[in-house]
Structure 1
Amino acid sequence: MAEPDERLYFSLQRAAHRLRLAADRRCRAAAGVTTAQLGALFAVHDEPDITQQRLARILGLRESAVTALVTRLVAADLVTRRPHPREHRAVTLRLSDHGAATLRAAQPEIDRFNAELRALLGEPAFRQTATALHRLAHDETLTPTD
């Protein structure tokens, strides 16, 4: 095996790309959705009546990208949009019955994928990697200022 590449960002990008392609293929086969759509569905599941603005922050996307994503999710009957009770320009999102069923259909494949990653990395390295990636994803000093 070759020496590990210490260009961490480059390695993260390559690994993320390969993992996303594999996970997308598997999630499409199991539940008919991509990992991006699945991430949005999990966020809506975790925070019923979430706003699109909040969803954009959670997913780390621009609001325009989330608007397009939500439009596709609504068209696929995975989420419903409702007027926000206090903000006349905002909407809230909830999972539809079909969206909840889609999450249930995807969960076994997500569990299998994680089990394969655990087996590949070993339990200690899996936990260390998950912890490190969580820190990187949530560290405020890495937040762009635009």
Structure 2
Amino acid sequence: MTKATSCGGVVIFRGKILLLYKNYRNKYEGWVLPKGTVEAGEEFKETALREVKEETGVDASIVKYVGKSQYSFNTSQDVVMKEVHWYLMMSDSYFSKPQREEYFVDSGYYKYHEAYHLLKFTNERQILEKAYSEYIEFKKSNLWGRKKYY
């Protein structure tokens, strides 16, 4: 068994959530949140911001850590146990550009209920729920849009 660690973001702009559509040779298809593997010497926050930028072209800023998800999958050689650390993030524009090299063919911002139903994986829907409720709390407290949160 191999262990792997990734980090990603629930990126929100004007109440909408950034999603990516992946189509890998028509075998793997679906909407996902941006995330990727931690590189040597990198902090989780740095990984999350870098991966969001690489996969979507979005310059996001971290608002708050929202938790982790865990899952496993099989490769031809091994079983991989994956842990993903998630951050609530803010963007300052609707711009996004999917990273073609990673087989992302579309990206965009969606209303919460659309995003929730579009997401392929249950664990990402759970993270979206948690992150969005945090976002609503920031909005109620009139804190969303301030530059420092933590």
| Same fold, judged at TM 0.5 (above) | no
Larger radius of gyration: 1
More helix by share: 1
More strand by share: 2
